[in-house]
Structure 1
Amino acid sequence: MLTAPTLPMWLRAGNNFLGALHPLGFQRYSLSKVRLLDEARKKTGLEDFGDPGFEEGLDRLLDSLETEAQLTALGRVIAGEEILTPLVNRLHLIDHHKRYPDIGQADIAAPIFIIGMGRSGTTVLHELLALDPQFRVTQTWEVDYPFPPPETASYKSDPRIADVQKRLNRTDVVLPDFKRIHRLGATLPQECVRFTTGEFLSLIFWTNYDVPSYSRWLKDEADMAPAYQYHRRFLQMLQWKHPRSPWVLKSPAHLWSLDTLLAEYPDARFIQTHRDPLRMLASLSSLVTHLRKMSSNRVDGLQIAREWAEWNALGLNASAEFRRRGVISQDNIIDIDFYGFMDNPIVEVQKIYAAFDLSFSEHTRDAMQAYLAVHSATQHGSHGYSFADTGLDIEEERNRLAPYQNFFNTRMEVT
């Protein structure tokens, strides 16, 4: 059964103590929209948030957090900071584009998107491609704190790197086993789902919190076009003083919005990684169960598995339909098998370079081999999980995922 990790005793005691004070009149950390917007203005000295369309997602998220997420005292603080940060960044982004209009004139030429579902090798692949100096990736520190915009001269020594690493180290104190599931690092490549939070159109909120109303709106109703417009403006700002091309970006969240992504980036190229979707489902359910424990004492792993099974099938089947319709040229997309990639990552990486007519230098090969020699999937211990833990029915999930599996002929790990 999927179970959430146990938090350190001092943290559990603190949450319980503050929770007990609330009925006695203790004021909890406020998730008021007015307070958060005002706080962002105070932090930046700026007023213009740009198009107010982002407020619909913000309103829905805040309502879900208050009525559904069952946040602990710490959870309210974490959620508040994860909302305040994109609000602050949004104010700065709007301001920079207004003051320096040449930022928005720069092209984002033929970006490469890694679009495999989570737990299919996308993180390792992104880390390997980030070692090639011809590519530009988004690193965690510059995604979280992008202002002032990064500059080439100080890109590797920027003081924000150390600040972000200290913050990430605190996650290790709260959830010491999380590094077995996913590596964290200030200079590691970061998913672009992190900066579409500026439009409050981001799967990251549902991943971190139990916000079913928000997630249903995101899945069934939300227009994702503003998220990709914001995505472009964010990249333009990051490359303003540290240019390099092409961008190599990664997020499974793109699977649900491939048509919208392509409308914003018509020359985009794609790398889709593939693995048994039931194995990915089990691993993702375990990941989300761990993440939500950071902010809530009431984490239902079986519910998470049921919800993620729906999202999993929707995204993967949509990617098969996207390919079946021939929306994108075969010259602009390549499929990478997880099992072949794990067996011989350098060979599979070379296939990507060949498919996109990119040069693969000896220096890059050596850097990748050195990286693989140090970093492995079990570097911090193994991540134990199984499909049986999800409580889901194998046959039912196979049927649900048949469009994806039949189209891509993926191997079956779970039987």
Structure 2
Amino acid sequence: MTDPAAKPPRKQKANAYPWYSPRIWHGMRFRPWMRLLARHRFAFHPLRVTMALIVTIFTLFNSVFYRLQLAIWGKKLKETVPHTPMVFILGHWRSGTTFLHELMSLDEAYTSPTTMQCFGPCEFLLMEDFVTRWFSWLMPSTRPMDNMTVGWAKPQEDEFALVALGVPSPYYRMAFPDHEPDGTEYLDMDGIDPAEQAKWRECLDFFIRMVTLKRDKPIILKSPTHTGRIGFLAEMYPDAKFIHISRNPMEVFASTERLWQTMDEVQSFQHPKNPKYRQYIFECFDRMYGGYFRDADKLSSDRLIETRYEDVVADPVGELAKIYAQLGLGDFEQVRPQMEEATAESRKFVRNQHQMEEELASEIYRRWKPYFDRYGYAADGTLAEEAPKAE
């Protein structure tokens, strides 16, 4: 019997993503960019050399703007204190974190990092309004891996800002996917030197302070990479609240496979020959949920709530009301009209469909069984009649 993790994914065509549109590397500073390239011995594919040169030019500008931002706002940033309650949305890639993030970002009492802030943390205090107004044409209309709309002002994943600011991240893998994955240890923060952990803390806190200085509201952050860091983040921010969203594991796996394939087409400086996506998905899950299952139950019910994508889609306003009530996020009735209007529009969203080989489905169930059991999914990934309690 062959190993399902070793099988290559079915080839799928990514949504069009213009060559001039921003990649996550465009926001980096020069020194972290050079360190990343040096670790991978500048192993560009010939057809991606031009892209690498363009990124290098951007990193030089980013380094200058970063210093200028610090010169102008450095003192204010040190004095800025993030508002409470800070909210972290957690969950595996493709489990509905973006959908939930965009709904919650409608609440004017909170703010969320925008695409401009996450892709350009080195300059957004200087240039966000200008770029958002005059350079909307740089952004494609939808994300490359699915049909969700994008834009400079849309809420975005803060992990991209951490990449740009120079701390290691699992997303480094996308630059050179034919090499051994970079940064997977940062999915659960285990085995990392305390000094490196301190740098990561400082970087995340610095970005949060920048967003707070710009918006002056409590922040809602979303990143799948934070899932296994829940204990780490709960210690950093004792008043923080956490929302975990799960989804049919079969759908999650298939959609994540497509995600990495599509992101490599857009972000990579190679043309991957043997990226081993399925093996990588299993390895990431082990780290993410090893950390999450270890630390999640240490948090009280007023700090952590778990929901399911299927429940959010079936009754989004009802699920959001439960989240607000359990975590104490404010008066939900004040935002109910906006939520109802937004969720009426979301019903028109077309979701990708996936097929699953029987052998792979069996392997997913075997390896992810604690996830199936905790969130009430049957062996085929559908919802069980009654969700069993976590042991």
TM-score bin (small chain): 0.7 to 0.9
Deviation at 1:313, TM superposition (A): 2.9
Letter in 2 for 1:386: Q
Secondary structure of the corresponding residue to residue 110 of structure 2: coil
Q: Tell me which residue corresponds to 1:59.
A: 35
Letter in 1 for 2:330: S
**Closer, same or farther in 2 for the Cα pair 1:253/1:217, shift >3 Å?**
closer
**Closer, same or farther in 2 for the Cα pair 1:301/1:342, shift >3 Å?**
farther
Letter in 2 for 1:334: I
Q: Which residues in structure 2 correspond to 1:176-195 (within 5 Å)?
A: 178=144, 180-195=146-161
Deviation at 1:138, TM superposition (A): 0.8
> Which structure shows the bigger proportion of residues in helix conformation?
1
Aligned pair partner of 2:239 in 242, 257, 267: 267
Contact 1:97 1:104 in 2 (8 A): no
How far apart, in 2, do the equivalents of 1:218 and 1:329 lie?
A: 25
Q: Tell me which residue corresponds to 2:168.
A: 201
How far apart, in 1, do the equivalents of 2:191 and 2:12 lie?
A: 31
Letter in 1 for 2:204: H
How far apart, in 1, do the equivalents of 2:57 and 2:283 lie?
A: 29
Aligned pair partner of 1:346 in 294, 297, 317: 317
Secondary structure of the corresponding residue to residue 131 of structure 1: coil
Contact 2:324 2:332 in 1 (8 A): no
Deviation at 1:285, TM superposition (A): 1.1
How far apart, in 2, do the equivalents of 1:301 and 1:181 lie?
A: 27
Q: Tell me which residue corresponds to 2:131.
A: 160
Q: Tell me which residue corresponds to 1:371.
A: 342
How far apart, in 2, do the equivalents of 1:125 and 1:355 lie?
A: 16
Q: Tell me which residue corresponds to 2:295.
A: 322
The reply on whether 1:402 has 2:377 as its aligned counterpart is no
Letter in 2 for 1:66: F
Contact 1:2 1:302 in 2 (8 A): no
Q: How many aligned residue pairs are there?
A: 356
How far apart, in 2, do the equivalents of 1:81 and 1:382 lie?
A: 37
**Closer, same or farther in 2 for the Cα pair 1:131/1:217, shift >3 Å?**
closer
The reply on whether 1:36 has 2:30 as its aligned counterpart is yes
Scaled by the length of structure 1, the TM-score of the pair is 0.73
Secondary structure of the corresponding residue to residue 307 of structure 2: strand
Q: RMSD over aligned Cα, in angstroms? A: 3.5
**Closer, same or farther in 2 for the Cα pair 1:94/1:350, shift >3 Å?**
same
Range moving further from structure 2, 214-223 or 351-360: 214-223
Q: Tell me which residue corresponds to 1:131.
A: 106
How far apart, in 1, do the equivalents of 2:88 and 2:124 lie?
A: 26
Secondary structure of the corresponding residue to residue 271 of structure 1: strand
Structure 1 unaligned regions, length at least 5:
12-30, 38-54
Deviation at 1:347, TM superposition (A): 0.5
Q: Which residues in structure 2 correspond to 1:58-97 (within 5 Å)?
A: 59-60=35-36, 62-64=38-40, 66-67=42-43, 72-77=48-53, 80=56, 87=63, 90-92=66-68, 94-96=70-72
Deviation at 1:83, TM superposition (A): 5.6
Deviation at 1:267, TM superposition (A): 1.7
Secondary structure of the corresponding residue to residue 290 of structure 2: helix
Letter in 1 for 2:39: D
Q: Tell me which residue corresponds to 1:278.
A: 250
How far apart, in 1, do the equivalents of 2:46 and 2:363 lie?
A: 30
Contact 2:308 2:375 in 1 (8 A): no
Superposed CA deviations along residues 89-117 of structure 1, whole A, max 9, x for unmatched, are 6535544564x246444244231100111
Secondary structure of the corresponding residue to residue 125 of structure 2: coil
Deviation at 1:401, TM superposition (A): 1.7
How far apart, in 2, do the equivalents of 1:300 and 1:336 lie?
A: 38
Structure 2 unaligned regions, length at least 5:
1-8, 20-24, 383-391
Range moving further from structure 2, 134-143 or 301-310: 301-310
Contact 1:112 1:271 in 2 (8 A): yes
Letter in 2 for 1:385: H
Contact 1:331 1:355 in 2 (8 A): yes
Q: Tell me which residue corresponds to 2:97.
A: 122
How far apart, in 2, do the equivalents of 1:69 and 1:319 lie?
A: 37
Letter in 1 for 2:243: I
Letter in 2 for 1:199: G
Contact 1:115 1:255 in 2 (8 A): yes
**Closer, same or farther in 2 for the Cα pair 1:97/1:159, shift >3 Å?**
closer
**Closer, same or farther in 2 for the Cα pair 1:141/1:241, shift >3 Å?**
closer
Deviation at 1:306, TM superposition (A): 1.8
Q: Tell me which residue corresponds to 2:11.
A: 3
Deviation at 1:387, TM superposition (A): 3.3
Deviation at 1:77, TM superposition (A): 4.5
Contact 1:103 1:237 in 2 (8 A): no
Q: Tell me which residue corresponds to 1:235.
A: 208
Secondary structure of the corresponding residue to residue 331 of structure 1: coil
**Closer, same or farther in 2 for the Cα pair 1:82/1:117, shift >3 Å?**
farther
**Closer, same or farther in 2 for the Cα pair 1:308/1:346, shift >3 Å?**
same
Deviation at 1:344, TM superposition (A): 0.8
Scaled by the length of structure 2, the TM-score of the pair is 0.77
